[in-house]
């Protein structure tokens, strides 16, 4: 599993992309008390180029999960921009 957590505001957009050598489960989640919420539900993907606009100020986590028993390679990048 690989996870990156970022503090985002309602006035920001998270742009992200990744490419894996095998399918990974990807999702974006945040925690509120003891509950976990998924504004981007888990999907099995090989690659993705997308953006995410938070509905509230919070810390959001992008998570990649390798369900296979073999190591995989993955590249990713992201940036945050202000809504204008």
The answer to whether the predicted template modeling score (pTM) of the entire model surpasses 0.75 is: yes
Per-residue model confidence as pLDDT tens for the chain (84 residues): 999 999 999 999 999 999 999 999 999 999 998 999 999 999 999 999 999 999 999 999 999 999 998 999 999 999 999 987
**Torsion sign over Cα 59, 9, 39, 67:** negative
Q: How far, in Å, CA of 68 to CA of 50, rounded?
A: 24
**Torsion sign over Cα 21, 23, 81, 30:** negative
pLDDT (0 to 100) of residue 84: 75
Q: What does the DSSP assignment read for 8-41?
A: E-TTEEEEEEEEEEEEEEEEEEEEETTEEEEEEE
């Amino acid at each position: 599993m690989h996870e990156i957590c970022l503090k985002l505001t309602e006035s920001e957009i998270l742009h992200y992309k990744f490419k894996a050598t095998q399918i990974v489960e990807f999702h974006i989640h945040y925690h509120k008390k003891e509950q976990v919420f998924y504004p981007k539900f888990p999907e099995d993907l090989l690659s993705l180029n997308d953006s995410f606009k938070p509905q509230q100020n919070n810390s959001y986590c992008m998570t990649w999960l390798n369900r296979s028993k073999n190591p995989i390679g993955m590249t990713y990048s992201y940036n945050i921009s202000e809504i204008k």
